[in-house]
């Protein structure tokens, strides 16, 4: 298109958008915000039973989460906090499908800082990795991972962290371990609306106030123990 034609078309577009008949769409959910009110809460994941993981895979992830985050006097374990539920729902959604990740290749193994490059989605990596884990433990010990005793499971996870437990040619053991650890951490620290952090256990442990609008009513309370009860997005969507 020539420059004159381009400028003429832009002028015509400006006239068209200024005609009396033109209508603008009202966008809601933005400012002004109102204290105590969430205008655009995230859509809660679909509730109910398992959405991606099989029961065996979910049980395996629960055991792994319990090893990563054991229960103590300050919080529930990763298993009891619902980390496996969080992961199941994430794998059933956009994260599991890798909708925001470029996966058309070419895939080159880079530095750790560059992250994992793979044709597989996170959901596919979980299915492949958990299957490989059971195959490896059956081969070495005659049992799937969750049927091993606790010390043996702990030993295997430490070996996976160091990249020294062979899960076969198709699975990078260390990378798979880091994926499991990352997602368990996310489930433990996430808003309970996503299935993890049951009873806001991690927020209570850390003293994190949760999804609150602001703290203007507390600004004058300097040097005082506030004992703020955490607030979940669940509370704001009821």
Residue 112's Cα: distance from chain center in Å?
20
Strand residues in 35-114 grouped as ranges (E):
none
Q: What is the mean pLDDT of residues 29-49?
A: 56
Q: What is the mean pLDDT of residues 201-205?
A: 94
| Contact between residue 86 and residue 196 where contact means Cβ atoms under 8 Å apart | yes
Dihedrals φ, ψ of 219, to 5°?
-60, -30
pLDDT at 7: 44
Measure the CA–CA gap between 121 and 97, rounded to whole angstroms.
6
End-to-end CA distance of the chain: 54
Would you state the torsion angle of the CA atoms of residues 203, 195, 80, 166, taken in this order, to the nearest 10 degrees?
A: -110
pLDDT of 67 above 50: yes
**Which SS3 state, helix, strand or coil, does residue 76 take?**
coil
pLDDT, averaged across the chain: 83
Residue 123 pLDDT class (50, 70, 90 cuts): very high
Residue 146 pLDDT class (50, 70, 90 cuts): very high
pTM: 0.77
> Is the bond preceding residue 229 a cis peptide, omega within 30 degrees?
no
pLDDT of 157 above 70: yes
Helix axes 150-161, 55-68, angle to 10 degrees: 80
**What are the domain boundaries of the chain?**
55-103+110-211
Identify which has the larger pLDDT, 202 or 8.
Answer: 202
How far is residue 176 from each of residues 113, 118, 124, 166, 235, measured CA to CA in Å?
Answer: 16, 12, 12, 11, 35
């Amino acid at each position: 298109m020539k420059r004159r034609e381009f400028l003429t078309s832009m002028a015509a577009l400006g006239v068209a958008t200024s005609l009396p008949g033109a209508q603008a769409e009202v966008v809601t959910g933005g400012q002004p915000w109102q204290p105590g009110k969430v205008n655009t809460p995230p859509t809660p994941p679909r509730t109910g039973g398992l959405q991606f993981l099989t029961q065996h895979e979910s049980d395996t992830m629960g055991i792994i989460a319990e090893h990563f985050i054991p229960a103590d006097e300050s919080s529930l374990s990763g298993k009891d906090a619902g980390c496996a539920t969080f992961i199941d729902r994430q794998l059933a959604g956009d994260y599991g499908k890798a909708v925001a990740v470029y996966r058309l290749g070419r895939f080159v193994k880079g530095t750790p800082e560059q992250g994992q490059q793979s044709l597989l989605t996170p959901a596919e990596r979980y299915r492949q990795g958990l299957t490989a884990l059971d195959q490896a433990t059956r081969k070495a010990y005659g049992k799937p991972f969750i049927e091993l005793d606790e010390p043996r499971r702990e030993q295997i996870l430490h070996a996976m962290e160091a990249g020294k437990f062979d899960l076969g040619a198709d699975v990078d053991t260390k990378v798979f371990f880091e994926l499991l650890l990352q997602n368990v951490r996310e489930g433990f620290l996430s808003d309970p609306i996503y299935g993890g952090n049951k009873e806001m256990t991690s927020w209570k442990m850390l003293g994190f106030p949760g999804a609150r609008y602001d703290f203007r009513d507390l600004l004058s309370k300097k040097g005082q123990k506030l004992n703020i009860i955490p607030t979940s997005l669940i509370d704001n969507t009821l």
